[in-house]
Amino acid sequence: MQITSIDDLQKAKGVGLAQLYPDKPKILVGMATCGLAAGAQKVYDFLSKKAQDAHWGGVVEKTGCIGFCYKEPLVDAILPGQPRVTYEQVTPEIAGALWEELAAGKIPEKQVMARIDVDDMILNGGPRKFYKGKLKGFLAKTPRYEDLDFFKLQRHIAMRNCGFIDPDNLLHYIARGGYFALYNALTAMTPDEVIAAVTTAGLRGRGGGGFPTGVKWASCRKAKGWPKYVLCNADEGDPGAYMDRSLIEGDPHSILEGMLIGAYAIGSSEGYIYVRAEYPLAVKTLQRAIFAAREAGLLGQNILGTGFSFDIKLNLGGGAFVCGESTALMASIEGKPGEPRAKYVHTVDKGLWDRPSNLNNVETWANVPVIIAKGADWYRDTGTEGSKGTKIFSLVGQVKNVGLVEVPMGVSIKDLVMEVGGGVPENREFKAIQIGGPSGGCIPKEHWGLPIDFDSLWDAGAIMGSGGMIVMDNSTCMVDVAKFFLDFLIDESCGKCIPCRLGLKRMREILEEFSAGKGSLEDLEELQSLSEAVKDGSLCALGGSAPNPVLTTLRYFRDEYEAHILQGKCPAAVCKDLITYSINPELCNGCTACVNECPQGAITGTKKEPHTLNASLCIKCGACFEVCKFGAVAVA
Amino acid sequence: MSVTFKALENILEHYPPSSEHLISALQDVQAKFNYLPPEAMTAVCDHLGVPLSRGWAVATFYKAFSLEPKGEHDVAVCLGTACHVRGAANVYEKFRRDLGIAGPEGTTRDLKFSLRQVRCLGCCSMAPVAQVDEEIHGNLSQRKAGHLLRMYRKR
């Protein structure tokens, strides 16, 4: 379907809405990577086949991830005139049971997680209620999404379409107000007005730095040189952060529309998306979205009949963390090794092929259409003084409700972990939260009242980064965590400048000593001063922020370092040189599980007799600890 | 798979002779042969008009490229932060022990498995995870890792 005018767009919206909410039953299966990893493909195949075989009058469709990764695979059922009902952890067997009832026109009760009464449709002029009148039976008792702890504090702006549309269906995106913001910008606003709106809205870069987006755009617009490039950074390399992947997989057109608006504001006709090759589904989804937009005329020449032209190319990353850095990313698009350069000349003046280039992150782009559609003031309503809007965090690690959460800026760490995340599992104790990936820091429990925004995290020694939040409990050793991040950064350092290349290695050696129970308090001082040197002396942000995990753990968990050095103890029982495994004969009932699992043959014993562990053979792999169901294996 | 002129031509015909396509072309070669054979590298660089040294610079810089043949099954164990705090290091050691790989990464002698570390597969909700070929396996323990290898050995 060609969309070359506002009439076409309106028509597409009508068709899209009829597909999105048809007058017949609909089943949605969450098929982003997290869903697929949990087995959603089988569920989808099963339900599709059933529907086909039965000549069912309804539709079975795939959708993106709504964020509740921990409950995947998620299946939603929408029967006409009824609320949308979500089912959790649906296996093919459970899908079978669900199908029987749905096919008979009933709403199943089994595995129900929540219901949605109203679809907000924030860009579509108002909410759409799913049903009229009062709910009866179990549905009345089923919690609404907004009643669940996990969703209570959330506000989906960037993720507005995730879990509601088929990401491969352009019409679904348009049905929820998509590409209308672009039309508005192109016909009713000058480029300067677009930039002013983004600036007033207070949007700051969601990829890590938090640089004001509008300011960047304005500099790029002013820069001399042609052509100008608009780039999207989808090289999401932070371990523990996957919101960009999820946005792409759930709502790719929001990114394309954001880039189109940005290109109009800056005066660019060519764009690139640099995406990680490790995200095969995201790559395919983007390919399909770009193709669909091109087919419809929303990318290419004379878009929506306004004379504005823009097209996007897709570039696959080669697997290098440093390529998330702007100058390294541009070098990589040029087909070179991704080494950053000093930025005394900014990329907005001389970036890709030495032309003015504007790079923003996936989540930043996804926010842009909302700002244009709803206005800067609407957007400013959410968030804190210096950080407006919402931010998507991936709440992972030692926390009950693992998933993607989009919350207003300014929510406290405590609320995020305890309310949204449901706290630490198995009654263990919250110890710290690691924010901002390898460039970020660990924030301890004493500071968990801290509101999460760009500036207060910076003050605490961490950074917002791309929004990975890894919850750590008392089974996590902070020296080990510092070592872990250094390992990562040594691996990913491009090797161009000395402080980062050699400094990190030396820091790693010192930590290695600590985790072996060696080293002295002077070494702690050396570690501290070396960290400062690497921070000040490195060329790019990777090196400049690399010591953050060390510096924050030193700042907040010095006692743990000292326990390693002075007492030769690892309080969390992680550092292998400092721990021993043993079997408590009183708790051991002689099940032989550990005997069979031990790769060393270090555990001996017969059935129903307490086993014994020969410490001289033990390699401390922890296999026995893992398989023991009776808590008889002790580690200290 | 042997490196044939035809196979390389099929890849190179998609790329106009310009240096910007180096990474993409090498990615295609890697996908086709599972590694970058030297003769393919020469062909790619010749076609795109870039010095061979630049080809090797790119190939050794990016993780996506391998200079040695890979095993039949690619076992990528996630050592991202979320997996790390849930015990991925021990799981990784288990894979290494069971596959008998001496270095941190490597390929088994029978070319059945290649083991490598990755930093975040973006499936943190199921940590620790590993990806074998295209399939993701989550909530791993050392015991499950053992099962997994046995399963793929039979395939």
The mean predicted confidence, pLDDT, of chain A is 94
Task: Name residue A78's beta-bridge partners.
Answer: A26
Task: Note whether residue A4 is domain-resident.
Answer: no
CB contact under 8 A, A402 and B27: no
Cβ distance B47 to B12 under 8 Å?
yes
Mutate to test the interface with A, among B99, B117, B124, B143 (most CBs of A within 10 A): B124
Predicted confidence (pLDDT) per residue in A541-561, tens digit: 889 999 999 999 999 999 999
Distance CA A401, CA B125 (A): 9
Beta-strand relationship, B106-107 and A403-408: unpaired
Task: Please report which confidence band the pLDDT of residue A237 belongs to, taking 50, 70 and 90 as the band edges.
Answer: confident
In whole angstroms, how far apart are CA A264 and each of A185, A229, A259, A310, B120? 8, 11, 9, 8, 35
Structural domains in chain B, CATH included, are: 5-61 (no CATH), 73-154 (3.40.30.10)
Distance CA B107, CA A99 (A): 45
A window 491-520, beta carbon within 8 A of B: 491-492, 494
Residues A419, A557, single domain; the answer is no
B68 touches chain A (CB under 8 A): no
Of A451, A423, A379, nearest to A202 by C-alpha is A379
Domain boundary (A441, A473, A505) is at A473
Distance CA A34, CA A281 (A): 11
CB contact under 8 A, A470 and B21: no
Contacts of A494 in chain B (CB under 8 A): 61
Q: Residue A439: is its pLDDT beyond 90?
A: no
A62 touches chain B (CB under 8 A): no
Min distance B73 CA to chain A CA atoms (Å)? 16
Instruction: Report the pLDDT value the prediction gives residue B1, as an integer from 0 to 100.
Output: 57
Q: Residue A459: is its pLDDT beyond 90?
A: no
Task: Note whether residue A13 is domain-resident.
Answer: no
CB contact under 8 A, A72 and B125: yes
Residues A244, A301, single domain; the answer is yes
What number of other Cβ atoms are within 10 A of residue A359's Cβ?
25
Residues A195, A339, single domain; the answer is yes
Task: Note whether residue A3 is domain-resident.
Answer: no
B123 touches chain A (CB under 8 A): yes
CB contact under 8 A, A239 and B136: no
CATH assignment at residue A237: 3.40.50.11540
CATH assignment at residue A614: 3.30.70.20
Residues A234, A358, single domain; the answer is yes
The amino acid sitting at B92 is: Y
A window 323-382, beta carbon within 8 A of B: 332-339
Q: Which residue of B has its CA nearest to A628?
A: B143
Q: Please, where are the H alpha helices in A450-562? A: 454-459, 478-492, 498, 504-515, 521-537, 541-545, 548-556, 558-562
Distance CA A194, CA A409 (A): 23
A173 touches chain B (CB under 8 A): no
Share of chain A above pLDDT 90, in %: 89
Cβ distance A478 to A553 under 8 Å?
yes
Task: Note whether residue A169 is domain-resident.
Answer: no
Domain boundary (A567, A602, A621) is at A567
Residues A484, A521, single domain; the answer is yes
Residues A420, A301, single domain; the answer is no
Q: Residue A65: is its pLDDT beyond 70?
A: yes
Distance CA B54, CA A402 (A): 43
3-state helix vs strand vs coil in chain A, percent to 5: 45, 15, 40
Residues A428, A492, single domain; the answer is no
CB contact under 8 A, B134 and A398: no
Q: Which residue of B has its CA nearest to A65?
A: B123
Residues A306, A360, single domain; the answer is yes
Contacts of B61 in chain A (CB under 8 A): 318, 320, 337-339, 494
Instruction: Report the pLDDT value the prediction gives residue A333, as an integer from 0 to 100.
Output: 96
Q: How many Å is the maximal CA-CA distance in chain A?
A: 83
Cβ distance A322 to A340 under 8 Å?
yes
A397 touches chain B (CB under 8 A): yes
B window 6-45, beta carbon within 8 A of A: 19-24, 27
Residues A523, A597, single domain; the answer is no
Task: Note whether residue A160 is domain-resident.
Answer: no
When CB atoms are compared, the residue of B119, B126, B142 closest to A623 is B142
Task: Please report which confidence band the pLDDT of residue A1 belongs to, taking 50, 70 and 90 as the band edges.
Answer: confident
CATH assignment at residue A447: 3.10.20.600
How many domains is chain A built from? Answer: 5
Q: Residue A238: is its pLDDT beyond 90?
A: no
B window 136-155, beta carbon within 8 A of A: 136, 138, 141-143
Q: Which residue of B has its CA nearest to A68?
A: B125
pLDDT in tens for each of the 155 residues of chain B?
A: 567 888 899 999 999 999 999 999 999 999 899 899 999 999 999 999 999 999 999 999 998 899 988 899 999 999 999 999 899 999 999 999 999 999 899 999 999 999 999 888 888 888 999 999 888 899 999 999 999 999 999 87
Predicted confidence (pLDDT) per residue in A91-125, tens digit: 999 999 999 999 999 999 999 999 999 999 999 86
Residues A426, A561, single domain; the answer is no
Task: Note whether residue A575 is domain-resident.
Answer: no
CB contact under 8 A, A599 and B97: yes
Of A539, A535, A482, A537, nearest to A510 by C-alpha is A482
Contacts of A69 in chain B (CB under 8 A): 123-126
Task: Note whether residue A154 is domain-resident.
Answer: no
Instruction: Report the pLDDT value the prediction gives residue B123, as an integer from 0 to 100.
Output: 86
A250 touches chain B (CB under 8 A): no
CATH assignment at residue A58: 3.40.30.10
User: ipTM of this model?
Assistant: 0.91
Task: Note whether residue A148 is domain-resident.
Answer: no
A69 touches chain B (CB under 8 A): yes
Residues A370, A260, single domain; the answer is yes
Task: Please report which confidence band the pLDDT of residue A426 belongs to, taking 50, 70 and 90 as the band edges.
Answer: confident
DSSP state of A388: B
Q: How many Å is the maximal CA-CA distance in chain B?
A: 51
CB contact under 8 A, B125 and A627: no
Judging by beta carbons within 10 Å of its beta carbon (0-12, 13-18, 19+), is residue A117 exposed, middle or buried? middle
Domain boundary (A443, A473, A503) is at A473
**Tokens describing residue B93:** 């050691």
A37 touches chain B (CB under 8 A): yes
| Range in A225-239, A450-464, A590-604, B138-152 with the lowest mean pLDDT | A450-464
Query: Can you give the residue range of the structural domain that contains A563?
Result: 478-567
Residues A351, A413, single domain; the answer is no
Q: Which residue of A has its CA nearest to B79?
A: A239
CB contact under 8 A, A402 and B124: yes
Share of chain A above pLDDT 70, in %: 100
Of A436, A397, A437, A404, nearest to A420 by C-alpha is A404
Contacts of B97 in chain A (CB under 8 A): 599, 621
Residues 6+ apart with CB under 8 A from A168: A62, A285, A288, A289, A292
Min distance A467 CA to chain B CA atoms (Å)? 13
When CB atoms are compared, the residue of B87, B138, B143 closest to A37 is B138
